[in-house]
Amino acid sequence: MRTIRIDDKLVKMLQHHSIKQKEFKLQNRPVYVDNQFIFARNDGNPQLRKVIETRLKRLLRKAGIEKNITPHSFRHTHTSLLIEASVGVKEIQQRLGHTDINTTMNIYAHMTVNMEEKASHQFSKLMKDLL
C-alpha cells in the first residue's frame, strides 16, 4: 500500500464515482458488504480479475486492436509514458512501489536506454548550435 499524487481532474472523477457508489450502496443495502473497495461488484466485493480481463478483451476486439493487452499492461504504459516525459527513475520507483531501484531499472532498462540515446542527440544538437 502506498500514497501517490494524482491531479485535480482525477480527484474530481474519483469524487464523482464515490457519490455514485454511495447511492448504489444505499440502494443495495441488504446485500452490500462495504469492504471499502473503490471499484466493487453489486454486493460490495471486489470484481473478479477474469471479468475485467474478459471485458477488456471484448473492448479491444470492438476497437479492432489485436494486441494481447491485460490490465497489468496499463501499469507498463503508465511507466513508459513517465519515462518518455523525462520523469526521474527514483520518482518512478516510488510511484510503482518498488522497494529497490534496481527492480525498476531491470524492468524498464530498455526504455532508459532509449532516453539516453535521445539525451545524447539533444546534447549533440545543443553543441552543434554553439559552434
Q: Which of 18-22, 48-52, 82-86 has the lowest mean pLDDT?
A: 82-86
Query: Which residues are paired to 46 by β-bridges?
Result: 40
3-state secondary structure of 105: helix
55-107 pLDDT, tens digit per residue, is: 999 999 999 999 999 999 999 989 988 988 889 889 999 999 999 999 888 88
pLDDT given for residue 131 in this prediction: 66
101-121 pLDDT, tens digit per residue, is: 998 888 887 776 777 788 888
Cβ(18)–Cβ(9) under 8 Å? no
Interatomic CA distance for residues 111 and 52, integer angstroms = 28
Structural domain boundaries of the chain? 71-131
Interatomic CA distance for residues 77 and 97, integer angstroms = 16
Residue for cell digits 542527440? 121
Cell (9 digits) for 87? 520523469
pLDDT given for residue 56 in this prediction: 95
Contacts of residue 6, defined as CB under 8 A and 6 or more positions apart, other chains included, come to 14
pTM for the structure as a whole: 0.70
